[in-house]
Structure formats: C-alpha cells, structure tokens
Amino acid sequence: MRELFEILNENIKKHDEIIIMTHARPDLDGMGSALALFKIIKLMDKKCFIVSPKKKLYRSLDKAIKLLNDNDIVFNFKSEEEIINGKYKKPLLIILDTQKPELVESDKVLDFINDKIVIDHHIGSLDTVNDTIYKYSDANKSSIVEVISEYLNYLEVNIEPLIMTVLLAGMVVDTSSFNIKTTARTFEMAAYLARNGADFVILQDILKEPREEMVERYQFISNSEEIVSDILMCRMDDNIHGNVDIALLAKELLKFEDIKASFAIGRLSHRIVGVSARSMGDVNVGEIMEKLGGGGHLTDAAAQIKDKSIDEVAEELKKIIKRVI
C-alpha cells in the first residue's frame, strides 16, 4: 500500500485543486472515507471539494454529517454544475469506493477531469474507469475505510475524533459488525481508530435505523424464496437502490436458522442490477458470483449485471445455484 500512499502524496502536491467523488447514493464507507480524505488534503494546505450527492442520503450518513456540522466540523461540497463551470487550473479527481463509470456520483465530473486516481475494494471487471493516473483495487480489504485508516496511520496525522467515529461506523457496516470480510489488519485498523478517538456510544447512535426502512427491508425478506435446501434468495422492487440496501438484505437472510447461503438482488442504476451474496462458509458464493459475471470470496461476493431485468437475473442465478450445489 505504500505505493498508493506515495502516489497520493505526490499527486496531491502537484495539483492545484483536489475533487473527491464516491459512488451514487454514498454510504458511510465511501462518504465517511471522503470526509476523512478531505481533512487530510486540507492539512496539506490544498483546495479540496467533495462532489455533492444528488439523491437523499442514507439516514446513518445524514446523521453523521449533521453531527459533524453541529460540532463545527465542516466540509466543502460542490454540485457537478459548480465543478464543471468552475475555473480550475489543474484539478485531480480521487474516486472512492467504486471503479465503475456507471456508478459514480457524476459521470459529467468523471468526463470533465483528466487526472484521476481510483481507490476501491470491490471485485474488478472489464467495465472500469481506465484513463487513470493510478488505480488501486484490493478485494481483500474490508472497506475503503480500512484503506483511508492505513493512510492516516502512514501519514501520522491527527484529525477530529468524530471523523474517526464516522470511519469506524463505516467499517462496522461494511463488515456486518466484523462478521464478514475481515483480516487481522481490519481489526488493527479498527483498534487504530478507537485509540485515536472513535466513540462507540456515538457510533451506535449513528447506526440506529428508522423504523420505516427496517419495515421495507423485511417486506422484501418476507417474499424471499428457498432456491434449494438452506439457500435463500430475495429480490427487491424495480426502484433504484444502493449497494448497502442489497447487502443488508443478504446479511439479514443469513441470520435465519439453518440457512447456509443467501442472495439479494436489486437495481443499482437504470442499466445495472446488483447481486449481493453471503455464506456461512459451507457454500462458496464467490464461485457462484463468478459464473454470474462477478466474484468475491467464499463467504462474501457480488455481481453487477448490465441491461437485464431483476427477474432475468434471478432466473439465471437460480439455474447457476441448482447446477453448482
């Protein structure tokens, strides 16, 4: 990772403005990391902006940003129009938590800025942002928070404890409370955040969900189906949801007694359907997602399919599961 950090330092120093962007409808992992990176860049005495989310934020992220603002920890958000119409000398775009052009917050900003660095922890594919100065993608990392925490540790800089709390909240969400996709380094970085001020009481308050969101999720879960013995699949409606929504469904399905693997399907954009897969280890969901065009690990995997309906993806997934299991 030292190479990533050295390249970040070098490019932040030689660009006049740095713009940070994550995926559309950002979550605590992507946007929490963006907030921390913003603070790092400001400590380097550089102009920095975060691309404003167009859609309503997840409740947890909304609460986190409000909490930071209430404590006079502010950030510079700009809309895509402000960025495109701005007079920048030499901007650098840092993209966090996605490498797919279709999933970024603003494709206009993506096309507008030439110099780009991508930092992601999802499974790569042919359809990625390719015209980059540097691309870092490590599917073994639990979250982008883990990467940014490593960067903070590498730089040996201090930022506000409340931001450390938001970072740890993002890590908790992406690892399903440290139950999936964790390594020894994940726990080391969680401990690093705690040592530097992350507050577990505040974290729990940030992560509390509104009743209506939980009710909606369980309505989807109530319509889940058992594909083969001990394997559940759940499909969402045709509205656009975020990666977090789909992943949460898969995680919740896996909590049922005797369930060994779970799959959740939802629409990520008008063209992309996402599948999130979870397993207790008896079923290799990474292998199943590879056959669907994605990939991942034994217990945690995903796929993103273009130009198909949710029902078409569900039927294809059923055939693969019945063939593999």
The confidence score (pLDDT) of residue 149 equals 98
Rg of the chain's alpha carbons, rounded to an integer? 19
**Pair 96, 23 in one domain:** yes
The whole-chain average pLDDT of the chain stands at 92
Q: Assign residue 147 the CATH number of its domain.
A: 3.90.1640.10
Write down the pTM of the prediction: 0.83
**Pair 190, 295 in one domain:** no
pLDDT (tens digit per residue) in 152-167: 999 999 999 999 999 9
Cα 281 to its chain centre, rounded Å, is: 23
**Pair 39, 121 in one domain:** yes
**Pair 259, 315 in one domain:** yes
Distance in angstroms (rounded) separating the CA atoms of residues 46 and 15: 8
**Pair 7, 92 in one domain:** yes
Distance in angstroms (rounded) separating the CA atoms of residues 278 and 260: 9
Q: Assign residue 217 the CATH number of its domain.
A: 3.10.310.30
- Whether the predicted pLDDT of 127 surpasses 80: no
The confidence score (pLDDT) of residue 88 equals 82
Range of the domain at 31: 2-207
Helices 144-155 and 28-43 sit at what angle, rounded to 10 degrees? 20
**Pair 177, 218 in one domain:** no
- Provide mean pLDDT across the span 14-23: 96
Do residues 228 and 322 make contact, with C-beta atoms less than 8 angstroms apart?
Answer: yes
Distance in angstroms (rounded) separating the CA atoms of residues 104 and 90: 21
pLDDT (tens digit per residue) in 180-201: 788 999 999 999 999 999 999 9
**Pair 163, 264 in one domain:** no
Confidence of residue 230 (pLDDT cuts 50, 70, 90): very high
- Whether the predicted pLDDT of 125 surpasses 70: no
- Provide mean pLDDT across the span 258-270: 94
- Could you write out the DSSP letters of every residue in 16-82? SEEEEE-BSS--HHHHHHHHHHHHHHHHTT-EEEEEPPSSPPPHHHHHHHHHHHHTT----EE-HHH
Beta-strand (E) ranges in the chain?
17-21, 47-51, 77-78, 91-96, 115-120, 134-137, 225-228, 231-240, 261-267, 272-279, 295-296, 300-306
Last-in-domain residue among 207, 233, 254: 207
| Structural domains counted in the chain | 2
**Pair 16, 145 in one domain:** yes
**Pair 178, 291 in one domain:** no
**Pair 187, 237 in one domain:** no
